[in-house]
Chain A
Amino acid sequence: MFFKLISRNSKRSRKENGLFFATLLVSIVAFYVILSLSHQDVMIFLAQMESDAVNRLLKMIPMFYGATLFILFFLVYFASRFQLERRRHEFGVYLMMGMSRFRLFFMLLAEDLRSSIAALLTGLPVAILVSELTSLITARLVGLGIIGHRISISVSALVWTAAGFLLIKLLAFLILSGKIVRQEIGSMLTDTPEGTKKPLPVAVYVIALLLGAGFLAGAYWMAINGMAWNELGKMGLTIILGLAGTILLFYGLRVVMGFLAGRSSRKNKLQVFTFRQLEENIIRRTTTVAVSSLLILAALCCFGAGVAIAQFYGESEQHVLDYTFTDEANPSAIKDTVKEQKVDELFSDLFEMKIGYIRINDDYFQMDSVEEELEKQPDSEDKEVLLNNLSYGTDPHLISLSGYNHLLEIAGLPRIELKDKEAAVYMDAEFTNDARSKLMNQILAKNPQVELVGEKYHLTGTVQSMGVVVDRSITLSFALILQDEEFEYFTKGDYSIYLNGVLDSGQTEGKSLLTAISDTNKKLNQTGLVYESYLQNIGRQLFYVVAASYITIYLAVVFLIIANTVIGVQFLTVQQKTSRRYKTLIRLGASYQILCRCAAKQIRWYFGIPTVVAAVSSIFGVRALFTGLLSSRTSDNISTMMIISAAMILLLCVVECIYIAAVKASSNRYLLTLMVPEREE
């Protein structure tokens, strides 16, 4: 009988409180996803290329696991409290019937264990599915669809997920049941409706509202203009201002709610009641609502920053070259060495890229005319950056024309034609952007005269920025492309030779490009040649993209879910605690539909207020993050920002709609139970 009761109760709990059960499932999925990170296709692939960085990231996983454990503990604790609170009366009855407290405790423990196991049995397959899906999607998104997917279930992740989940569940249960079982039977049997707090004068709330808005504005100002990022103390101040501002703002919102309640219209039934309920909820739970709002803000910022970082590192240049060979000791012999090793058969094209310095005099190069022209342009950040970069251009790199033209040919771009005493300007993509190139091109169109070791030269053409070698870490901020003879003259034959190669189509046929490069690498490793491949570069880039976006988006989802669950559970708890009010309304003639509409309105507002505050804050928050984390290189990318914001808002809307619908359904079910009268004596 006892065990039957346990099984019935735990089944009923799952049925009655879907939101709570869903929370448990989400926790399980969150644990597994973070723990199985090392089994993700992208990570497996990256581990071969960038093992150091990957290992460093994987070493951080326990930290993330710990943090997730910590955050989700509160979520489970909060949701369980709601779950147990609503059964207080039932527990009182058990005790009245002579059930010992220990037995009650044991019964609750068994119920809890049962529901935990049910959650694990449902959650783990879902978690594996989610993890596999993420693996596939990230592989497709970043790996150009080139990685063969393998289903990989991480046993250790499964074990740790189960262990972590059971641990937080047990801990939350022990604390809560300890509290509830120790209560007096009398207090369990009677509902203790919460009394209303005496309201303070309106001025207090107005001041709180204004102060809150002021604090928030201060915090954002400090974060956006970069002050907060200079030192730890200022960062701390910014955070404190932000936290205090949010809490004060919500506290002060009572004024707005009171005003809305007072502005009652006859058209909206129960308008006064609706807003009084909201007013009370928001006041009494100011901190919870503020924290939920901050969590949503954190989620939005994480999401925004993650996408932005991914976007920034993921901005790929045109892929032309597959390999670059070098020979430090004897640069000019590299081509022969490659031929000797018979690896040249692997390539459809092998050509030399010659890069050097001016070596004939001390008085190298000056381009005052260009700088003067630039000064005349309207002020802009790009102009400042260019001027700054050019001021270091007194000792430019030189690139030989034939090599560069070869590169352009392979890329399918027009060759550069240079006459005598003409030079083209090269600036790596790392140091320029569309706006800066446009600015430079305007000046180059006028063929400005420059001085190269005492000789008059004219700059011509447009700014070139195609990667000259495979290795993306080799970048040239400012270089001149010269005809081969002039190049030989100025460098005095002392320059570096990079042998660039493009893989033969026979090598890549039937395989993904990355597999082909992996295979070629294996062959090349046997020859002892020094080389750099596209794979290593893409690997490095991928790593940043994956690591940054994966972790931040993961955190964003966790935060968002926690915040929403807290808000939802909070609403339902309050609704149950104030059930008498709803009963009175029914007695006064409120129909089920009116009550549902009233509750739905409360739910929309209750979710809406923290979400809107968070959304508004996120506009500043994401900008602040950009200021702090990313250099000015992305700051000009307004369209990207817009896309990110739109994606964020869309995600937020979807999540909010799901939660609002779930809470509404739960609230409607509860209201229906109130419609059935109880016998009261």
Chain B
Amino acid sequence: MKNILEIESLCKYYGKSSNQTKALDGVTFQVMPGEFLGIMGSSGSGKSTLLNCIATVIKPTSGKIVMQGKEIHSLKGSQLTDYRGKMIGYLFQNFELLDNLTGRENILLPLSLHNVSAEESDRRMKQLASYLEITDVLGKFPSQMSGGQKQRIAAARALILNPGIILADEPTGALDSKNARALMEKLSGLNEEQNATILMVTHDTNAASYCKRILFIQDGVIFHELRRNMPEESQQMFYERILSVMAQLGGGSANVL
């Protein structure tokens, strides 16, 4: 199967040579269609930089990002905005819903930006809304919704254009444990039932345990990879494996430092 996303020797340096911070220092990995990939690491490890590079929010210093066979570095103007809207769906930690738009309007916002026909997306919206259990709140404004509802509206918005990959930046960061679990179950369901490809950056071991594969990143480089052995490994077992890696991560080097 062809990779949906390929990252090759990606580097992002901040500052001049004498005083350089290497946020990303040669990261290479691939994402297969239908994969649910987690990226874990401590603050400042470079995971957000990685996500921002893929989302074309920042420009890498060197290296390649190839999305569905296209190198995104070469995208310009309308290609770039199309890429942001259609090829990737972005799920923010703080939802980033427009608080003066209703739930429905928020979800349909990408359509008006990318000239997509209403009928087709209407069907998709209804389908997403019922799957994400947000049909009741479509007419409400974000201020009238719970955190979980907001994040599910945001998820619907990220999915409405059927993007090749969903980039989720700490999607459970602003949710309580109950809502976090509900959201993760929905995301994992989307991944399994609809074969959605998800790339999620997270701190949260619990959320990470829903992934099929996890990359651990530290100081700008990938230093470990975990793969869930499906179907024999339960989520609980995978969770414990992640914890032990996290402990090593903390215990192995951080305690000494």
Q: Mark B36-76, 1 if CB is under 8 A from A, else 0.
A: 00000001100010001001011000000000000000000
B253: interface (CB < 8 Å): no
Determine the distance from Cα of A270 to Cα of B98 in the docked complex, in whole angstroms: 12
Q: Which of B3-11, B106-114, B204-212 lies on the face that meets chain A?
A: B106-114
Residues on A with beta carbons closer than 8 Å to the beta carbon of B143 = 195-196, 198
- A199 with B81: CB separation less than 8 A: no
- B85 with A266: CB separation less than 8 A: no
Q: Which of A96-104, A272-280, A361-369 lies on the face that meets chain B?
A: A272-280
Q: In the complex where A580-B96, A589-B81 touch, is A196 in contact with B43 (Cβ < 8 A)?
A: no
Determine the distance from Cα of A585 to Cα of B100 in the docked complex, in whole angstroms: 13
- A270 with B112: CB separation less than 8 A: yes
- A280 with B100: CB separation less than 8 A: yes
- B57 with A677: CB separation less than 8 A: yes
CB distance from A351 to the nearest CB of B (A): 80
Which one, B57, B58, B82, B101, contacts A276 given CB within 8 A? Answer: B101
- B96 with A272: CB separation less than 8 A: no
- A681 with B109: CB separation less than 8 A: no
Q: Mark B89-107, 1 if CB is under 8 A from A, else 0.
A: 0101000111111000100
Residues on B with beta carbons closer than 8 Å to the beta carbon of A272 = 101, 105, 108-109, 112
CB distance from B24 to the nearest CB of A (A): 13
Which one, B100, B110, B116, contacts A588 given CB within 8 A? Answer: B110
Q: In the complex where A272-B112, A588-B85 touch, is A277 in contact with B117 (Cβ < 8 A)?
A: no
Main SS at interface, chain B = helix
Residues on A with beta carbons closer than 8 Å to the beta carbon of B97 = 584
Residues on A with beta carbons closer than 8 Å to the beta carbon of B229 = none
A587: interface (CB < 8 Å): yes
Q: Which of A270, A276, A578, A588: most chain B Cβ within 10 A?
A: A588
Which one, B58, B81, B90, B141, contacts A677 given CB within 8 A? Answer: B58
- A591 with B77: CB separation less than 8 A: yes
Interface residue ranges of A587-601 to B (CB < 8 Å): 587-591, 594
Q: In the complex where A271-B112, A681-B48 touch, is A587 in contact with B57 (Cβ < 8 A)?
A: yes
Which one, B81, B99, B108, B113, contacts A196 given CB within 8 A? Answer: B99
CB distance from B158 to the nearest CB of A (A): 9
- A584 with B96: CB separation less than 8 A: yes
B144: interface (CB < 8 Å): yes
Which one, B101, B109, B115, contacts A266 given CB within 8 A? Answer: B115
- A594 with B108: CB separation less than 8 A: no
Q: Which of B44, B57, B98, B108: most chain A Cβ within 10 A?
A: B98
A608: interface (CB < 8 Å): no
B78: interface (CB < 8 Å): yes
- B105 with A270: CB separation less than 8 A: no
Q: Which residue of A lies closest to B90 (CB)?
A: A587
A62: interface (CB < 8 Å): no
Residues on A with beta carbons closer than 8 Å to the beta carbon of B52 = 677
Residues on B with beta carbons closer than 8 Å to the beta carbon of A590 = 81, 113
Residues on B with beta carbons closer than 8 Å to the beta carbon of A271 = 112
B84: interface (CB < 8 Å): yes
CB distance from A580 to the nearest CB of B (A): 7
B142: interface (CB < 8 Å): yes
Determine the distance from Cα of A279 to Cα of B141 in the docked complex, in whole angstroms: 14
Residues on B with beta carbons closer than 8 Å to the beta carbon of A18 = none
Q: Which of B52, B80, B101: most chain A Cβ within 10 A?
A: B101
- A589 with B99: CB separation less than 8 A: no
- B48 with A269: CB separation less than 8 A: no
Number of chain A residues whose Cβ lies closer than 8 Å to a Cβ of chain B: 34
Main SS at interface, chain A = loop
Residues on B with beta carbons closer than 8 Å to the beta carbon of A269 = 112-113, 115
CB distance from B56 to the nearest CB of A (A): 9
Indicate the size class of the contact surface on chain B.
35 or more
Residues on B with beta carbons closer than 8 Å to the beta carbon of A583 = 96
A348: interface (CB < 8 Å): no
CB distance from B59 to the nearest CB of A (A): 10
Interface residue ranges of B108-139 to A (CB < 8 Å): 108-118
Interface residue ranges of A230-279 to B (CB < 8 Å): 261, 264, 266, 268-273, 276-277, 279
Q: Which residue of A lies closest to B154 (CB)?
A: A584
A150: interface (CB < 8 Å): no
Q: In the complex where A587-B57, A587-B84, A677-B58 touch, is A276 in contact with B48 (Cβ < 8 A)?
A: no
Determine the distance from Cα of A681 to Cα of B112 in the docked complex, in whole angstroms: 30
Residues on A with beta carbons closer than 8 Å to the beta carbon of B118 = 266
CB distance from B220 to the nearest CB of A (A): 15
- B43 with A681: CB separation less than 8 A: yes
Determine the distance from Cα of A583 to Cα of B98 in the docked complex, in whole angstroms: 10
Determine the distance from Cα of A591 to Cα of B99 in the docked complex, in whole angstroms: 21
Residues on A with beta carbons closer than 8 Å to the beta carbon of B116 = 266
- A581 with B98: CB separation less than 8 A: yes
Interface residue ranges of A11-55 to B (CB < 8 Å): none
Which one, A273, A276, A591, A680, contacts B81 given CB within 8 A? Answer: A591
Determine the distance from Cα of A276 to Cα of B99 in the docked complex, in whole angstroms: 10
- B99 with A588: CB separation less than 8 A: no
Determine the distance from Cα of A580 to Cα of B142 in the docked complex, in whole angstroms: 14
A186: interface (CB < 8 Å): no
- A587 with B77: CB separation less than 8 A: no
Residues on A with beta carbons closer than 8 Å to the beta carbon of B58 = 677
Residues on A with beta carbons closer than 8 Å to the beta carbon of B141 = 196, 198-199
- A589 with B57: CB separation less than 8 A: no
Q: In the complex where A198-B143, A587-B92, A591-B77 touch, is A273 in contact with B98 (Cβ < 8 A)?
A: yes
- B113 with A588: CB separation less than 8 A: yes
- B142 with A196: CB separation less than 8 A: yes
CB distance from B248 to the nearest CB of A (A): 24
CB distance from B103 to the nearest CB of A (A): 12
Residues on A with beta carbons closer than 8 Å to the beta carbon of B57 = 587, 677
A193: interface (CB < 8 Å): yes
- A589 with B101: CB separation less than 8 A: no
Residues on A with beta carbons closer than 8 Å to the beta carbon of B144 = 198
Residues on A with beta carbons closer than 8 Å to the beta carbon of B98 = 273, 276, 581, 584-585
Determine the distance from Cα of A588 to Cα of B52 in the docked complex, in whole angstroms: 13
- A594 with B142: CB separation less than 8 A: no
Q: Which of A578, A587, A589, A594: most chain B Cβ within 10 A?
A: A589
Interface residue ranges of B230-246 to A (CB < 8 Å): none
Q: In the complex where A276-B105, A589-B85, A677-B58 touch, is A266 in contact with B113 (Cβ < 8 A)?
A: no
Residues on A with beta carbons closer than 8 Å to the beta carbon of B108 = 272
Determine the distance from Cα of A680 to Cα of B48 in the docked complex, in whole angstroms: 9
Determine the distance from Cα of A680 to Cα of B170 in the docked complex, in whole angstroms: 12
Q: List 30 A-B contacts (CB under 8 A).
A: A193-B99, A195-B143, A196-B100, A198-B141, A198-B143, A198-B144, A261-B105, A269-B112, A270-B112, A271-B112, A273-B105, A276-B98, A276-B101, A276-B105, A277-B100, A279-B100, A581-B98, A584-B92, A584-B96, A587-B84, A587-B92, A588-B85, A588-B90, A588-B157, A589-B82, A589-B114, A591-B80, A677-B58, A679-B48, A681-B44
- List 7 tightest A-B contacts by C-beta distance, closest first: A589-B85, A589-B84, A584-B96, A677-B57, A589-B81, A276-B100, A591-B81
Binding site for B on A (CB under 8 A): 193, 195-196, 198-199, 261, 264, 266, 268-273, 276-277, 279-280, 578, 580-581, 583-585, 587-591, 594, 677, 679-681
Binding site for A on B (CB under 8 A): 43-44, 48, 52, 55, 57-58, 77-78, 80-86, 90, 92, 96-101, 105, 108-118, 141-144, 157
Q: Known pairs A196-B99, A198-B143. 4 more at Cβ < 8 A?
A: A266-B115, A268-B112, A269-B115, A589-B83
